[in-house]
Amino acid sequence: MSVSYTSILWNKQKKTYDIGIIIGVLSFTLIFFIGHTVLHPDATFETIFIRNFGLLAFVMLHIILIIGPLARLNTKYLIILYNRRHFGVSMFIMAAIHGIFSILNFHSLSNTNPIKSVFLSNLKYDSIIQFPFQTLGFLALIILALMATTSHDFWLKNLGPKIWKGLHMMVYLAYALIIAHVVLGALQNETSPILYGVVFMGFLLVAGLHIYTGMKEIRADKPLGNDIDFVFACKVADIKENRAKMVMVSGERVAIFKYEGKLSAVNNFCRHQGGPLGEGKIVDGCITCPWHGYQYRPEDGQSPPPFTEKVETYQLKLENEEVWINPQPFPEGTHVEPVKINQ
């Protein structure tokens, strides 16, 4: 929310969240080391270490990719989404441990440059079975590094939303590279089909959830009308207390909030990173974005001082139990008297 920067805006919830990540990482590692030693007693420490952190990063990447769609289906997942950037940076650290340790282990013993060794020690680029799969992991790691190192709001603001968003959409390219890295790499070690099955299920889950929520959104986006007159939006009873109903008017998504016996409508697009305000809640009298917690007053769409973000507001009216909306937005931050619900 601009003003000056601190590394991370610490609050209790974020600390709990980060402790959760650390506990998760440690338990995964413990279970993996024990399990691996039981199943393959002759494996070296280095092998287990490399596999552990590769797999951990891979699992975390799946969680990151499905958490967006999941939070749209069920708001109880919002808490994980809320600090997705911490999760992303942690995932990068796990991937970096795996990658750097692999390079130290396999490529730093000769006197060629270790990175050149990753790309040039195996030249069977035309083979599938013996493909130099580590190169794919390396390229993916660079993408993850770009995302992790630019995840702070400073970069969002100063690279501009277009470049930033572009960088972060590359996560899907990284995901494809990593799947190829795992499958082609495993082809050279693993003989059991279980790994392929699990990788394939993970992919189905990610792709399936994205397609499913995408289709739901297209249906929800059917416009209500484009004329100046008020158009019917929803019933008062359709909106839960302190939450919103999203409607599409004049090509824009609008969130209609119900709180303290009143109704207010604002543009759905959070000015931070475009989070869906209509999926957020009213907290302390302010609309609170589900993604990173930016807040806006429902009656005028303004962030409380010292913050300066603003969203458009809309005129509502009530007819019996029906909520009607004027599709013409007011300029960002315009005060609109909330509509009182007679209960």
Partner 1 sequence: MIELISLTIDAFFIYLGIGLLFSIWFVLVGAKKIDNGMEDTPFHFKLILIPGSVLMWPVMLIKILKK
**Which chain residues interact with ligand FES by CB under 6 A?**
270, 272-275, 289, 291-294
Among 296, 291, 295, 294, residue whose Cα is nearest residue 79: 291
Work out how close the CB of 325 gets to partner 1 at its nearest, in angstroms, rounded to a whole number: 36
Which residues of the chain form contacts with partner 1 (CB under 8 A)? Answer: 2-7, 113, 115-116, 119-120, 123, 145-146, 148-150, 152, 154-155, 157-159, 163
* Longest distance between any two alpha carbons in the chain, whole Å: 81
- With vertex at residue 85, the alpha carbon angle to CA 133 and CA 92, rounded to the nearest 5 degrees, is 25
Work out how close the CB of 83 gets to ligand HEM at its nearest, in angstroms, rounded to a whole number: 19
Which residues of the chain form contacts with ligand HEM (CB under 6 A)? Answer: 47, 50-51, 54-55, 57-58, 61, 95, 98-99, 102-103, 118, 134, 137-138, 140-141, 144, 178, 181-182, 185-186, 189
Q: Is residue 314 within 8 Å of 326, Cβ to Cβ?
A: yes
Select the binding partner of residue 102 from ligand FES, ligand HEM, partner 1, none (C-beta < 5 to 8 A, by kind). Answer: ligand HEM
Select the binding partner of residue 272 from ligand FES, ligand HEM, partner 1, none (C-beta < 5 to 8 A, by kind). Answer: ligand FES
Work out how close the CB of 209 gets to ligand FES at its nearest, in angstroms, rounded to a whole number: 20
- Whether omega before 331 lies within 30 degrees of 0, making that bond cis, reads no
Work out how close the CB of 331 gets to partner 1 at its nearest, in angstroms, rounded to a whole number: 25
Among 57, 59, 58, 33, residue whose Cα is nearest residue 47: 33
Nearer to ligand FES by C-beta: 67 or 140? Answer: 67
Structure tokens at 153: 């709001």
Residue 301, classified by CB atoms within 10 Å of its CB into exposed (0-12), middle (13-18) or buried (19+), is buried
Rounded-to-integer distance, Cα 239 and Cα 199, Å = 40
Nearer to partner 1 by C-beta: 119 or 196? Answer: 119
